[in-house]
Amino acid sequence: MAQHHSSLRDLPSITTLLDTQPLRSAAAEYGLQAATTAARVAVENLRQQILSNERGAEIPAAEELASRIAAEVTLRESNALKPVINATGILLHTGLGRAPLAENAVQAAAEAAAGYCNVELDLQSGQRTTRSQTVTGLLQELTGAEAAHVVNNNAAATALALAALASGREVIVSHGELIEIGGGFRLPDVIETFGARLRPVGTTNKTRVSDYERAISDQTGALLVVHPSNYAITGFTQSPPLEELARLAARHQIPLVHDIGSGALIDFQQFGCRSEPVAGESIAAGADMVLFSGDKLLGGPQAGIIIGRHTWMEPIHTHPLNRTMRVDKITLAALRETLKLYRTPAQALEEIPLLRMLSTPIEKLRSRGDQIVQQLHGQIDGWEIASRADEAFVGGGSTAQQAIPSWCAAITTAEVNVGQVAQQMRIGTPSVVPRVQQDELILNLHGVFSSQLQSVVDTVLRSYRLLCGSSN
Ligand SMILES: *Cc1c(COP(=O)(O)O)cnc(C)c1O
């Protein structure tokens, strides 16, 4: 008991801690409140340790405790949401926020954010209107669909479509398409969660129209076709053409829902990528409803886009879940400006960052790699850096396995672990996220904007000085 008291009495006060050098600089850098909160939490943790540990806990000296707290504050602040330079070679990196926005989309989003906008008001009549109205016309124009609706992401679009069309009924899906998208979003569970029943048909590799046909009954709510975006079934495979399924669905007056995932509005084979379903083609083939993401191949903000026939879209608009998935004005503003660029495909290729990156000739990437190596020449003794060919991936669950020819600057060194170098690059400002592959640190140039090259060079230099500077 006595020991408890003496230990508690040894705890430094918050004031004492804040007056130490490490916490004074932490407060200067990140604000007094961040430093104070961290100090309170640390002291409280020690107090709890002392109280629960009969032999008494070791109390570090105030200065030492303060530097530990300061290190924690720094670590936490370095994890704050901030811009990073994507040198991973994965262009649609979900961990890095997927598609960067076009300049006009950024401006529109900023304007929407800074003030008021007519997100749900018809300016002609002065009446309340539906939220997606500012983008539905464009989506119809670009895809040929009769109607359109926008929610938070494609997972929400899938959930809403199932709930609105098939609640209490069966959803017929091929065994080969019962996918897990990630983060616990498994199609069979989603179907159950939103009140529908899964009716799997066919086999993993082969499913025929007749399999769907045999499963149709008065219990059927929808036929669902899901594009295999993050996996591939190869070998002896078969799945029916969408046109045939559309005819089958129409004959039975059941909606055919097509989850195309990545949401290409143009043909991606022009970039040397595998063919990806194009939203408008799916509508033309007869799908009643097509679902896709806004921040994958479309190159816009995070959103889930639902397009389709009036009759089947009506229950979507009026479903109570709709409100829980509502997009905000900032997203709508960015989406509208992104879609507008597709009216002139050449302009889309020029201004939508994802499309611009994909259409950058490899010689250009190569000369950027050469430039980085040249600038670092003679400044990073003991580190080898080479400009060489590499592979990039579109990513984001689209054309997942397919590599596209790319270029990088690759660093190897015997002086430090390249994993440590990568960490230094990530936690600094500007933050650069490279790829570590075997014993190499790869700075892939496909996702690095030309305006960011100097920052990449500076980041390599900064990391070098921090890790190897004193010994050279
Ligand atoms: C990516 C993807 C989803 C999920 O989309 P989010 O916008 O990430 O919610 C759903 N279905 C398919 C086929 C996908 O590729």
Residue-wise pLDDT tens digits, 379-415:
999 999 999 999 999 987 655 567 899 999 999 999 9
CA of 240 to the centre of ligand 1 (A): 22
CA of 306 to the centre of ligand 1 (A): 12
Give, for ligand 1, the residue of 154, 262, 327 to mutate: max count of ligand atoms closer than 8 Å to Cβ.
154
Q: In the Cβ-directed half-sphere of 122, how many Cα atoms lie within 13 Å?
A: 8
Q: CA–CA distance from 440 to each of 49, 152, 238, 383, 434 (Å)?
A: 43, 38, 41, 11, 10
CA of 405 to the centre of ligand 1 (A): 25
Residues in the chain with pLDDT values less than 70: 1-6, 54-57, 397-401, 470-472
The answer to whether the Cα torsion of 349, 355, 359, 363 is positive or negative is positive
Q: Are 154 and 291 in contact (CB under 8 A)?
A: yes
CA of 340 to the centre of ligand 1 (A): 23
CA of 189 to the centre of ligand 1 (A): 15
Q: Are 229 and 94 in contact (CB under 8 A)?
A: no
* 261 Cβ inside 6 Å of ligand 1: yes
In this prediction, residue 406 carries a pLDDT of: 97
CA of 381 to the centre of ligand 1 (A): 45
E-strand stretches of 277-374: 289-293, 304-308
* 153 Cβ inside 6 Å of ligand 1: yes
Residue bearing the CA closest to ligand 1, atom 1: 261
The CA distance from 255 to 58, in Å, is 68
* 399 Cβ inside 6 Å of ligand 1: no
Tokens of 447: 């996702």
CA proximity to 397, closest of 95, 100, 25, 8: 95
Ligand 1 atom closest to Cα of residue 293: 7
Instruction: Give Cα 442 distance to the centre of its chain.
Output: 21
Ligand 1 atom closest to Cα of residue 396: 1
* 226 Cβ inside 6 Å of ligand 1: yes
* 229 Cβ inside 6 Å of ligand 1: yes
The answer to whether the Cα torsion of 69, 71, 72, 77 is positive or negative is positive
CA of 396 to the centre of ligand 1 (A): 9
* 202 Cβ inside 6 Å of ligand 1: no
CA of 263 to the centre of ligand 1 (A): 9
Strand pairing class (220-226; 170-174):
parallel
Place of tokens 């916490």: 23
The CA distance from 280 to 271, in Å, is 19
In this prediction, residue 234 carries a pLDDT of: 82
Phi, psi dihedrals of residue 234, rounded to the nearest 5°: -115, 175
Helix ranges restricted to H, 167-309: 187-193, 209-215, 242-251, 279-284
In this prediction, residue 179 carries a pLDDT of: 85
Question: Angle between the 362-376 and 453-468 helix axes, to the nearest 10 degrees?
Answer: 40
CA of 295 to the centre of ligand 1 (A): 10
CA proximity to 257, closest of 289, 231, 230: 289
Residue bearing the CA closest to ligand 1, atom 5: 154
Burial of 362 (0-12, 13-18, 19+ CB in 10 A): middle
Give the single-character DSSP code of 403.
E
In this prediction, residue 1 carries a pLDDT of: 44
Q: Are 190 and 154 in contact (CB under 8 A)?
A: no
In this prediction, residue 5 carries a pLDDT of: 53
* 152 Cβ inside 6 Å of ligand 1: no
Beta bridge partners of 223: 172, 256
The answer to whether the Cα torsion of 94, 95, 100, 106 is positive or negative is positive
Q: In the Cβ-directed half-sphere of 365, how many Cα atoms lie within 13 Å?
A: 26
Instruction: Give Cα 424 distance to the centre of its chain.
Output: 23
CB atoms within 10 A of CB 214: 11
* 304 Cβ inside 6 Å of ligand 1: yes
CA distance between the termini of the chain:
55
CA of 184 to the centre of ligand 1 (A): 12
Residue bearing the CA closest to ligand 1, atom 6: 154
